[in-house]
A and B are shown apart, each in its own frame.
Chain A
Amino acid sequence: NAGVTQTPKFQVLKTGQSMTLQCAQDMNHNSMYWYRQDPGMGLRLIYYSASEGTTDKGEVPNGYNVSRLNKREFSLRLESAAPSQTSVYFCASSERRGVNTEAFFGQGTRLTVV
């Protein structure tokens, strides 16, 4: 059981380049999320998808787009990378199941924009 898988683990981009971060989960969760983590700021929600076919903005959506490709996959795209997007990005998935409600995270993608 792989859980939440993110790719790539590390990436260096030049300002203005584009890239897509991939995330897949195999737990049949309906909800998926993208967060960024910066020192002293905790995890800030970029976008989330409550269910297949829906996406919503989080706290810091500017400069990002997302696609919920199917129930398993939720990708994050940077169209024109900026140094301010240097961060660690985490994908997560969750499911409301009463006492078995759960939320799991991927291992993160460390992105540097130069």
Chain B
Amino acid sequence: AQSVTQLGSHVSVSEGALVLLRCNYSSSVPPYLFWYVQYPNQGLQLLLKYTSAATLVKGINGFEAEFKKSETSFHLTKPSAHMSDAAEYFCAVYSGTASKLTFGTGTRLQVTL
């Protein structure tokens, strides 16, 4: 079975500070991994994805994530937070063999002045 754990339901950072949102996965087969962002009252927008090519993946809005198989992690980072980054972020794992997309419980990012 596959699963995703997001550590920290709420993360608060100052504007300009490093953003680190944690995601650990469990999968019996090599996974595909996604990060999505959801702004208030909107749908989910793809930030970036890992599909077994480069382990360091760059996405939109300056975000990036590194796939670490040894740690079963896919943490999302951004060097300098902006007020517009305030949103909820979801990590998801996709098992191609089961054709099933499973989400974590989400992390709400707050950015303060």
Contacts and interface: CB of A to CB of B under 8 A. Distances in A.
Contact of B104 (A42, A58, A105, A106): A42
Contacts of B53: 99
Interface in A35-54: 35, 40-45, 48, 50-51
A94 B43 contact: no
Given A90-B44, A100-B51, A104-B46, A50 B99 contact: yes
Interface residues of A, number: 30
B42 interface: yes
- Size class of the B contact interface (CB-based, 8 Å): 20 to 34
A48 B42 contact: no
A40 B105 CA distance: 7
Contact of B103 (A31, A42, A51, A102): A42
A41 B46 CA distance: 19
Contacts of A108: 43
B44 A105 contact: yes
Contacts of B42: 107
Interface stretch (B60-68, B75-83, B90-98): B90-98
19 contacts: A31-B99, A40-B9, A40-B105, A42-B105, A43-B90, A45-B100, A45-B101, A51-B99, A90-B43, A92-B101, A94-B101, A98-B52, A100-B51, A101-B49, A101-B51, A101-B96, A102-B49, A104-B46, A105-B43
Interface of A: 30-31, 33, 35, 40-45, 48, 50-51, 56, 58, 90, 92, 94, 96, 98-108
Interface of B: 6, 9, 32, 34, 36, 42-44, 46, 49, 51-53, 90, 92, 94, 96, 98-106
